[in-house]
Amino acid sequence: MSFTVRRPGPHDAATVAELHLSTWREAYAHLLPADFFSAEYIERRRRMWRGLLDDPPEETTIRIAESGGSIIGLAWAGPGLGVGDEPPPRARQLYALYVAAAHYGTGAGQALLDEALGPGPAMLWVAAQNPRAIAFYRRNGFEFDGVEQTDPIAPSITDARMLR
């Protein structure tokens, strides 16, 4: 299965938001309350992507993967963020990397990671309950540093920080 990676534009915002929502359902539905994907949550996600793609913040990299005319994955990276008053342990952070389950194993996730972050030092947060993602990040040189926090959007998910 072939795919291409490109920079998204404002016209992609609705489709990127829908992919973000569908990949969250695929990965985390079993960890979230039944009413998690409320109309309000869905609209907030749509507004977020419209804002990001209408006027991307400096130092932010957003890429999407497409196959057969459909967006199948997204990656979003930018400056590292610390916890509380702590400075970030890395200058770059992967904020999001999602690929539709039907496209797992195609190389789209790897291509998106490479485009968004490159090979250098970086950090990310991963759901501690997502062994597939953890294995992927470990193959890419990331290791846990022992810092965990409750996901502010989904309190039933524990986020664990990984560094390389």
Give one DSSP letter per residue of the chain, joined into a string: ---EEE---GGGHHHHHHHHHHHHHHHHGGGS-TTSS-HHHHHHHHHHHHHHHHSPPTT-EEEEEEETTEEEEEEEEEE---STTSPPSSSEEEEEEEE-GGGTTSSHHHHHHHHHH-SS--EEEEETT-HHHHHHHHHTT-EEEEEEEE-SS-TTSEEEEEE-
122 class by beta-carbon count within 10 Å (0-12 exposed, 13-18 middle, 19+ buried): buried
Can you give the pLDDT at residue 122?
A: 98
- The CATH classification of domain 4-163, taken from the options 3.30.70.20, 1.20.970.10, 3.40.630.30, 3.40.50.620: 3.40.630.30
Kindly report the number of other CB atoms within 10 A of residue 98's CB atom. Answer: 22
Which tokens in the block code for residue 13?
């915002």
The alpha carbon of residue 81 and the mean position of all alpha carbons in its chain are separated, in whole angstroms, by 15
Query: What does each C-alpha distance from 59 to 94, 107, 116, 117, 156 come to in angstroms?
Result: 12, 25, 11, 11, 31
Q: Can you give the residue ranges of every domain in the chain?
A: 4-163
Q: At which residue do the structure tokens 């250098």 appear?
A: 120
Can you give the pLDDT at residue 154?
A: 86
pLDDT by residue for the chain (164 residues), tens digit each?
799 999 999 999 999 999 999 999 999 998 898 889 999 999 999 999 999 999 999 999 999 999 999 999 999 999 999 999 999 999 999 999 999 999 999 999 999 999 999 999 999 999 999 999 999 999 999 999 999 999 878 888 999 999 99
Q: What are the φ/ψ torsions at residue 156 (nearest 5 degrees)?
A: -80, -5
Which tokens in the block code for residue 101?
């389950």
pTM for this model (two decimals): 0.94
